[in-house]
Amino acid sequence: MSFLTWAALAVAGLVVAPLVAHLLRRRPPEELPFAATKLVPARTAVAQRRAAIEDRALFAIRVLAVLALAVLGASPFVTCDRLSLAREGGASVALTIVLDDSMSMRVAGAEGQGTRLDRAREAALELVAGLQEGDAVAVVLAGTPPRVALAATTNLEAARAAIEETTQSDRGTDLEGAVDLAGELLGDLQHVDKRVVVLSDLADRGDGPLPAPEGIRLWVPLEELRGARRDCGVIFAERTADRVLVRVACGPGPEGAGEEQDKRRIAIRAGEQTLVEAPFRLAVGVDDLTLRLPDGWVSDHETTALYAVLVQDQDAIAVDDAAPVVAIGGQLQVGVVSDTATSVVATGGPPAVEQAFRALALGVQLRPLSAVPDREGELSALGLLIVDDVPGLTPSQRRELADWVTAGGVVLFTLGPGAAAAPLGSSFEPMLPALVRWSTQAPKGLDLAKDQFFGEAAGGMDDLAAKGRAELDMEQDASPKRLAAWADGASFLLENRMGRGVVYVSTLPFDTELSDLALRPGFLHLLRRLVDTARTLGGVARTPVGAAWSVEGYDEVSVQYLPQKGAPEPVKLPDGPQRRVEVGRAGLYELVLDGNRTTRVASVAEEEVDLTPRPVVAAAGEEALGGVTASVDVSAHVAVFLLLLLFVELGLRAFAPRGARDTGPASSGPASTGSPSSAPPSSLRPSAPPAVGSGDRSAASR
């Protein structure tokens, strides 16, 4: 605080003034001669008077008044920063608050100020507190993937609750997607003034300034959230036999960081036991390190959970310094069996399936196969198998494939002219208990009213321009689930669950000469859904934080988070027909699907360790949008309090006893010795004669 603030508060020292005033009221009594004292031998005596404070209620009121005056004098010099909107002409505002809940917001602020997310939440509540009747507000979370925490509403209490319920996560950052989503929420509102407020550290490795939605003003306040900090993290750790591959990423940090910060060590630990530890030097970027476990340890402790731990002294974020070791590869292996003659795209290039996976960037590894594998070793390496219009399966292929699906595999059969021309002894049983026939007649497209699979990606699926379709003669006891149907009601996409795995069947192949299926958004949605399902059922154990794990089709589902230390924590499953588990914390999880246990690892994104903020355009920080105000005006409240004290004092004076209202000095204690009112003269004892002139005011008046 400044000198003026302390000087104003020093007024409180005047609180001793009422005390002095009350003590001065007690003047010594007037000394008058009393004839009876002539008969008593003179003796010197000292009468000690108690300096008691009279009218204590009045004294307390005056003390409070002095303290209130001190507060009133100091209030102009006391300030409190608060984020507020600037309005144009007092018009109502439609506002979307983009709250960044990514892992980079875990960075601690100044001492005692919490994390960056804490400050962002506080600023969001300040903005909501400054809204008025008629204003609309929405809340969007910027962690990957962006989510709507609250749709646009005028209910400010709901907005406060949504902001207060926002918790820290280990997700990546998608600011551009969050801003686009925020703009969509404001699109249908009738407000003229529409704004998107971004409360983030802007650490998303974006190229150039953050773009604003069309027709909406973008405001990026709170510069204190932005700033490069030094951070390194373990992205993932994978074990093959007795070797562990650990990927470590380090951000650039502030300028002038010493080389000592780059001297760190990486360790593999089982509980509190360190199995192996090695040094590494990494300034900026990503590095892969390979550590070898002790001889014989793997065979003796196969089920023991291992963690790769980054041992270091200085780090901005602590939660990314450890990652569980996954025992299988990180990429989903996808096998594709297709006829090269029918899968060629007219425009050239790879088959449509390969081009689609490349465009989706789902982090899978494609393995083109010439035939369906019939050996356990070949199938066990796959998490997903796509079989595009093959002429049936041999008995050995069906047996191995059925066992693989039952153990948790996912397979898609597309049926076309080739599948209908299966040779004798070839079929798709038991995955598809039906007889396949090919028809050159097909409806125009699908019945979207009965769609249970494609959802928003169903655009164009009602006009596939199909030149034929497969017709299924199902067995009576077969009960595959129909996910999508043709316009005439025939099955287009079926689902058949076998053990832990699932079989999908499409009655239309991917051949671009037979239909436009491979050119529709629904085709990409189909492949994405297959990958999600394969990953959920055991095709891969590691996914990024925020990736959804589909658990559709299971009756009993439970998910637990297994921390490195401590007891397991249950994960709440979302409600709704499409059951998908989306976790926001990095670490190890256990899924129980209809009694079958499997583990998953949610890993942090490499981009989150780079805390360098992206630039901000000048228009996103204009004072016309708002800013941080510094003011605390309590003078009106203090003035009302002082006025109340005045009325209380007047009331005490008006209703006090008459003796208490006497302005002269009066004694509230017992009369002194020698007073006629306290004892007659005959009761005076020579051994304790009263002091001359010690009579009280009543005796003197007599």
Integer angstrom CA distances of residue 185 from 49, 91, 190: 79, 19, 12
Decide if pLDDT at 201 tops 90.
yes
Decide if pLDDT at 205 tops 90.
no
Helix (H) or strand (E) holding 388: strand 384-388
pLDDT class for 588, splitting at 50, 70, 90?
Answer: very high
Residue 545 token pair: 């934080």
Where does 459-595 show beta strands of DSSP type E?
469-474, 481-485, 491-498, 501-506, 542-544, 548-550, 557-562, 569-570, 580-582, 587-593
State pLDDT tens for residues 650-694.
777 777 665 544 444 444 444 444 444 444 444 344 444 444 444
Mean pLDDT within 360-368 = 82
Q: Average the pLDDT over each of 141-150, 537-546, 632-641, 666-675 and give the range with the smallest value.
A: 666-675
Decide if pLDDT at 637 tops 60.
yes
Q: Average the pLDDT over each of 37-41, 143-147, 180-184 and give the range with the smallest value.
A: 37-41
Strand partners, 286: 249
Interior CA angle at 190 toward 184 and 192, to 5°?
95
Please tell me which residue, 373 or 164, carries the higher pLDDT value.
Answer: 164
Q: Measuring CA to CA, which residue among 504, 549, 556 is closest to residue 527?
A: 504
| Contact partners, residue 544, CB within 8 Å, separation at least 6 | 144, 172, 602, 603, 604, 605
Helix (H) or strand (E) holding 82: strand 81-85
pTM greater than 0.75 (yes/no): no
Which of the 8 DSSP states describes residue 537? I
Please tell me which residue, 627 or 412, carries the higher pLDDT value.
Answer: 412
Q: 145: cis peptide before it, omega within 30°?
A: yes
| Separation between Cα atoms, residue 334 and residue 384, nearest integer Å | 5
Query: Nearest 5°: phi and psi at 533?
Result: -65, -40
Interior CA angle at 274 toward 273 and 279, to 5°?
165
| Separation between Cα atoms, residue 135 and residue 152, nearest integer Å | 10
Mean pLDDT within 409-413 = 92
What does the pLDDT read at residue 504? Answer: 94
Crossing angle of the two packed helices 16-24 and 56-74, in degrees rounded to 10 = 150
Which of the 8 DSSP states describes residue 195? E
Q: Is the dihedral of CA 109, 115, 116, 122 positive or negative?
A: negative
pLDDT class for 16, splitting at 50, 70, 90?
Answer: low
Helix, strand, coil percent values for the chain (each to nearest 5): 30, 25, 45
pLDDT class for 537, splitting at 50, 70, 90?
Answer: confident
b/e 599-630 (16+ beta carbons within 10 angstroms → b): bbbbbbbbbbbbbbbbebeeebeeeebbbeee
| Separation between Cα atoms, residue 503 and residue 397, nearest integer Å | 15
Decide if pLDDT at 22 tops 70.
no
What does the pLDDT read at residue 370? Answer: 84
What does the pLDDT read at residue 701? Answer: 39
State pLDDT tens for residues 65-109.
777 777 766 666 555 567 888 887 667 899 999 999 999 999 987
Report which listed range, 349-353, 402-406, 672-676, is most confident: 402-406
| Contact partners, residue 614, CB within 8 Å, separation at least 6 | 175, 202, 203, 204, 205, 206, 207, 208, 209, 210
The single-letter code of the amino acid at 513 is E
| Region at 209 (left for phi over 0; alpha for psi -120 to 50; beta for the rest) | beta
State pLDDT tens for residues 267-320.
999 988 999 999 888 888 888 899 999 987 876 776 778 999 998 767 889 999
Task: Please say whether the beta carbons of 696 and 670 come within 8 A.
Answer: no
Strand partners, 435: 473
The single-letter code of the amino acid at 464 is L
